Structure 1
Amino acid sequence: MDLQPLPAFDDNYIWLLRDTDGRALVVDPGEAAPVLAALADAPVPHAILLTHHHGDHIGGVAELLRRWPGIPIFAPQDERIAIATHRVDDGDTITAGPWRFDVLEIPGHTTSHVAFHGRLPEGMSLLFCGDTLFSLGCGRMFEGTPAQMLASLRTLAALPVDTLVCCGHEYTAANAAFALTVDPDNAALRERAAQARAQRAAGRPTLPSTLASERNCNPFLRSDNPAVRAAIATHVGHSPSNDIEAFALLRRWKDGFRA
């Protein structure tokens, strides 16, 4: 398996997955130039996967189609992604080259957001989750509700723990600062934060993460943890009445957080 995060814009990643012949699967190409450079001498890609409609995830598709007309484009049911050739829904299974992916609807960041999860022939579990789950964080809720986002994160957290988490942005170091404020006694989190700092200092991506690490370290997957709940209560001055309120308060805390 050849899995590569291509940097784009200030902090985006476009994901490439290549087979043994060099043919690629392209995920969330917000701009075309990094993809065209990486695949300059490669065969025509198998397909393009799109997780949601935001321009920094779909903006490069038109130019890629001019270079490689007819590539299948899998995208959620959303008229704002007019360039799609194949619409996907929750529970669908898609095939692209040698790979099969299950489609998971994960609204919250947007109402039509999807993820693609597959168990590759090499045995690796792989998740393309766009802007819903980040390493040590989660996406802002531009269109969805806290209840939707919490449910979506729980859907992702229930995947196999060896799953590689391929998200859309390099936010790990910034997310670590907030996570350590919420959960400072978490040894696994401290180790992950140090690892992320070292990776960025060396010019390397912090992704993919693993779902095992996120379940141990990410406060948004741990909003029902007693230590995280206590931190939320201290921050807002009262105990959350339920899981949804706890998550909403945690996300609001992050929205206003400055390291």
Structure 2
Amino acid sequence: MLSISPISAFSDNYIWCVAREGKAIIVDPGDAAPVLKHLDENGLSLSAIIITHHHYDHVNGIELLCERYPNTPVYGPENQCKSITQRLKHDDTITLLDLTFRVFAVPGHTLDHIAYYLETSPSGPALFCGDTLFAGGCGRLFEGTPKQMLNSLGLIQALAADTEVYCAHEYTLSNLRFACVVEPNNRDLLSRFEDTQARRQADLPTVPSKLALELLTNPFLRTDNAAVQQQVATHAALKYWNQNDIFASLRAWKDDF
């Protein structure tokens, strides 16, 4: 039986545990302690670690985990993280626990960022996208350009609509507050915002989310929408624009929100 479980870390991180028959794949372990606790409490042994990008809150737990579980393979992108043992690039595939993950290069948040796509999971396809796509938002552009991020999000938009999006942070409520300013008349968005408020009040995770819902409510996946474009253009005082201009202005607006 395959399961995918969140492990809370820091103030708002999710480390994902993909488990099958007593073995686990850990996604982006920024902190080893909660991972070790989760493995011990659930009778799991560590089989592999997969990394989306180099930020500390995604990689700082690798060394301690590998001390506890020697010779654990660590998959990740080409970057300065020395703990990665298997380097991956766009369109690579890896098979772990008899599960095949396809790798997408998704630069924008960082230049090295990759995502992992699992076509079969308990509730449909699964995407482990780190800090590229969030529930209701997208990652800040620390290294990449708006065009790179727009292209990366375009790769994700093209996936099956029933894809479960496993992002790495609990940012949903703040993301949706901003989205409601961008699209105040989007009924799907307003309904999602109310549901998200209720889930957070109950201290429940709001992720994973369905890609279909993101396409209806996430402004960063809707920069081709006329209402979104007009709202962003008005805010940014754009007289003429293309989709990249809209995305760049939307991201800047969110940064200042």
- TM-score norm. by structure 1 comes to 0.96
Q: Distance in 2 between matches of 1:121 and 1:145?
A: 32
- Could you say which residue in structure 1 is the equivalent of 2:100? 100
SS of residue in 1 equivalent to 2:45:
coil
Q: Note the 1:176-187 alignment, pairs <5 A.
A: 176-187=176-187
Q: Distance in 1 between matches of 2:134 and 2:246?
A: 19
Contact 1:199 1:206 in 2 (8 A): yes
Q: CA deviation at 1:141?
A: 0.4
Q: CA deviation at 1:156?
A: 0.7
Question: Does residue 1:50 correspond to 2:51, yes or no?
Answer: yes
Which structure 1 segments of 5+ residues have no match?
none
Q: Distance in 2 between matches of 1:239 and 1:52?
A: 37
Q: Note the 1:120-139 alignment, pairs <5 A.
A: 120=120, 122=122, 124-139=124-139
Structure 2 CA distance for partners of 1:122 and 1:5, relative to 1, 3 Å: closer
Q: Distance in 2 between matches of 1:110 and 1:234?
A: 29
SS of residue in 1 equivalent to 2:207:
coil
Contact 1:115 1:129 in 2 (8 A): yes
- Could you say which residue in structure 2 is the equivalent of 1:196? 196
Contact 1:8 1:14 in 2 (8 A): yes
Q: CA deviation at 1:135?
A: 0.4
Question: Does residue 1:114 correspond to 2:114, yes or no?
Answer: yes
- Could you say which residue in structure 2 is the equivalent of 1:150? 150
Show CA shifts across 1:188-246 (max 9, x none).
11111111111111111000001000011000000110110010111112245211111
- Could you say which residue in structure 2 is the equivalent of 1:81? 81
- Could you say which residue in structure 2 is the equivalent of 1:67? 68
Question: Does residue 1:249 correspond to 2:242, yes or no?
Answer: no
Q: Distance in 2 between matches of 1:143 and 1:130?
A: 15
Question: Does residue 1:172 correspond to 2:184, yes or no?
Answer: no
- TM-score norm. by structure 2 comes to 0.97
Q: Distance in 2 between matches of 1:10 and 1:122?
A: 27
Q: Percent identity?
A: 47
SS of residue in 1 equivalent to 2:118:
strand
SS of residue in 2 equivalent to 1:64:
helix
Contact 1:3 1:15 in 2 (8 A): yes
Q: Note the 1:210-229 alignment, pairs <5 A.
A: 210-229=210-229
Q: Distance in 1 between matches of 2:28 and 2:148?
A: 22
Which structure 2 segments of 5+ residues have no match?
none
SS of residue in 2 equivalent to 1:51:
coil
Q: Distance in 2 between matches of 1:123 and 1:16?
A: 15
Q: Distance in 2 between matches of 1:147 and 1:236?
A: 18
Contact 1:125 1:164 in 2 (8 A): yes
Cα RMSD between the aligned structures? 1.1
Matching residue's letter, 1:72:
P
Q: Distance in 1 between matches of 2:220 and 2:240?
A: 15
- Could you say which residue in structure 2 is the equivalent of 1:10? 11
Contact 1:232 1:239 in 2 (8 A): no
Show CA shifts across 1:40-97 (max 9, x none).
152422211100000000000101001101111100011x111011000000000111
Q: CA deviation at 1:22?
A: 2.4
Q: Distance in 1 between matches of 2:215 and 2:63?
A: 37
